Structure 1
């Protein structure tokens, strides 16, 4: 037992530490106490893999529930994703009227910063809109408008906003980027028709990432590089959806060569973990069929991806497991400035996943709590 009465636990296997692979044991309660073993090539044995828990910064829903529903929806969502290895997440909103956003954040305020048993830790909110370009809505409802610092402050007073997606070319948006970053929020560029120059200007003002790279943004052309070009030329961080439906494997590899800390998100919807059928994404009806989620007109509308599958997909297209792990965990933590998550080292939270040799989940621990996987 620890001084706080927490039970000490121990796991053994191929442990991906912050310094590399170690074959040995990891001791933990709510936080990691020690990692012991020898540097080893995990391909030289048949032991399980122990990796940092997954961190997903773009989650709209799961289990038939959507973040915008308010109420108890976030508890269902965070529990479902925990069963697939997500140990921390940002609850992501949709473009919507202010009243809808206030209702959604009011529900989120009860879970942000509080540990819910059996569920992924909700670190805060990703406000995806409404400060986006109405000409590049994707699956967002048509409630887009120019950014408002006053609105953001009002929402942030309800629940902590960690990340905001906006379109820098919308009049007035560029001016608030530096103000948002001064408040400690991360700004991503997305749902945008902006030019390469718009993207560069936004980054010079403090924007640091791009929302679901390639999707819902102006494309790369050799004479008009667009927002994709700005990301590939200048970004250290960007999120990408590796379900191999939103983005071709070749385009993922292109981004991997250009963006050092490209990290993965699910952009998951209420259809995640559910059978084919109709579901809600904010105010929009979406249709799940054959693994995809679309609006009635065929537009992709989020995904049914889970982070354990994202890891497997990265390895499938050629990434080494240690590299893939960083892109579903460490780099997202780095982006948010979190040094105690997304890595296995002493004094970091005991957020970890155990996988077999085929990268199927064996166990998930969130701040030392073992998560029941029976419904995964």
Structure 2
């Protein structure tokens, strides 16, 4: 790919910079130019660490479905994501990991070919950053919209999954781990532990957080904030260093979101997107469950919220409506999740980082740049 010069206002770690970014697939440097002040805004491209599906496909439906999810979320503003399982029989999770491994290998080979000069093979899908295992080691009494396949903690099986190198995040219920062994095992393999789908006490949650655990979809599917006898949510506000929160304006009200922002330095946004993301109203699958999309809501037949149909475009609209600056949105959607994954090639606009940005025109996301190539975002359904 030939070197390119792109003019605009760039959100760097030292603030806004007006000028030219020099790049091919990676950023090589900057040159000041006052004309950049009148150009588009560029913020680090969003990453999404909790994605079950999109474009009518669920990540656990096989290779082609996973590719559909990657392309759908790129078309709506996501540069990289973690394919996120639902709670399922152990052999189904084995199959899911095998599918992710195959697709990751295919994408790696395609990227090598495009770097060798065949730009027709340049990927327009989001980068597959790995896997988020949401369960199966969660509370059977706090499934939320998870299929009914919770399992007792099996450290040997968990280690087998970790040895694939694909797993980056695991959601588990700390009450299933009285010896607090999961965070230590995660640290051995460079995996992030997160508590969720749990009815644990605040003390159990705090113990897991002290051992390095973060929090999965804060407030949702967990023991609540109470001033006496509180659970995981109140412990998160008191002790968590990192937590994800669904920013669709439905799962979490603005006041609860604001409380989390004041309390948790490492708060970051996720979509918890299902197959319904980027699709019209109708019925879709979430693992073995049938879900229904109506407007911006996704529900089980009994009315339980079942993930979301959220995209990065919609998330940005919600956050802007809540009064956040572009710098604050960049932190929530890109910088913090990249740091949580210990990635230095995403989450910032700087030399040696990927030339992947969200382009803002007229206060709206207009395009996603992936590895130096501009892709106009699709219109929201």
Q: Tell me, yes or no, if the aligned pair for 2:247 and 2:318 is still in contact at 8 Å.
A: yes
Higher mean Cα deviation, 250-259 or 173-182?
A: 173-182
Q: Spell out, residue by residue over 1:105-160, the C-alpha distance to the aligned partner (whole angstroms, 9 max, x if none).
A: 11111233734711111110000000110110000011111222221233334461
Q: State the secondary structure of the residue aligned to 1:303.
A: coil
From 170, 179, 183, the equivalent of 1:164 is 170
TM (norm. structure 2) is 0.92
**1:374, distance to aligned residue in structure 2 (A):** 5.1
Q: 1:173 to 1:270 in 2, by over 3 A?
A: farther
| 1:52-83 per-position Cα deviation (integer Å, ceiling 9, x unaligned) | 11000000000000011113111100011111
Match of 1:125 among 131, 144, 148: 131
**1:51 touches 1:325 (CA, 8 Å); kept in 2?**
yes
Cα contact 2:338–2:347 (8 A) shared by 1: yes
CA gap of 1:39–1:192, structure 2 versus 1, over 3 A, is: farther
Alignment pair present for 1:176 and 2:182: yes
**Residue 186 of structure 2 is aligned to residue 191 of structure 1:** no
How big is the shift at 1:183? 1.5
Give 2:371's match in structure 1, choosing from 361, 367, 370: 367
In structure 2, the residue matched to 1:85 is 77
RMSD, matched Cα: 1.9
Native 8 Å contact 1:50 1:352 kept in 2 = yes
Structure 1 segment 100-119 matched on structure 2, within 5 A: 100-112=92-104, 114=108, 115=111, 117-119=123-125
Structure 1 segments unaligned to the other structure (5+ residues): 1-5
Using the TM superposition, give the Cα deviation of residue 195 of structure 1 relative to its aligned residue in structure 2, in angstroms: 0.8
Which residue is equivalent to 1:301? 306
- Between Structure 1 and Structure 2, which shows a larger proportion of helix residues? 2
Q: Does 1:28 align with 2:23?
A: yes
Q: CA deviation at 1:179?
A: 1.4
Task: Identify the residue that residue 207 of structure 2 maps to in structure 1.
Answer: 201
Secondary structure of 2:261 counterpart = helix
Residue aligned with 2:354, SS: coil
Distance 1:117 1:110 in 2: 16
Match of 2:42 among 25, 33, 50: 50
Q: Does the Cα contact within 8 Å between 1:32 and 1:349 map onto a contact in 2?
A: yes
In structure 2, which of residues 11, 16, 21 is the aligned counterpart of residue 16 of structure 1? 11
- Partner of residue 60, structure 1: 52
Task: After TM superposition, list the pairs within 5 Å mapping 1:323-342 onto structure 2.
Answer: 323-342=328-347
Query: Is residue 102–residue 158 contact of structure 1 (8 Å, CA) maintained in 2?
Result: no
SS of the aligned residue for 2:17 comes to strand
Aligned residue number for residue 221 of structure 2 = 216
When the two structures are superposed, what TM-score results if normalisation uses the length of structure 1? Answer: 0.93
Q: Is the 8 A contact 2:77 2:377 kept in 1?
A: no
User: SS where residue 175 of structure 2 aligns?
Assistant: coil
For structure 2, the residue ranges without an aligned partner over 5 or more in a row are 112-121
The alignment of Structure 1 onto Structure 2 pairs a total of residues equal to: 366
The Cα shift of 1:38 comes to 6.7
Partner of 1:141: 147
Alpha-carbon distance in structure 1 between the residues aligned to 2:93 and 2:239 = 32
Give the superposition deviation at 1:23: 1.2
> Matched residues in 1 for 2:351 and 2:28: separation?
5
Q: CA deviation at 1:358?
A: 2.3
Q: Is the 8 A contact 1:147 1:173 kept in 2?
A: no
Cα distance in 2 between the residues matched to 1:352 and 1:120? 12
Aligned to 1:313: 318
> Cα offset for 1:36?
2.3
CA offsets per residue over residues 256-292 of structure 1, 9 Å max, x none?
Answer: 0001121000000000111111100000100001211
2:115 alignment partner in structure 1: none
Q: CA deviation at 1:163?
A: 0.3
2:280 is paired with a residue whose SS is coil
Give the secondary-structure state (helix, strand or coil) at the position aligned to 2:104.
coil
The answer to whether 1:281 aligns with 2:276 is no
Distance 2:179 2:248 in 1: 31
Secondary structure of 2:180's aligned partner: helix
Tell me how far apart the structure 2 counterparts of residues 131 and 57 of structure 1 sit (CA, whole Å).
19
Q: Which moved more, 1:233-242 or 1:45-54?
A: 45-54
Give, in angstroms, the shift of residue 339 of structure 1: 1.3
- Please give the secondary structure, in 2, of the residue aligned with 1:134: coil
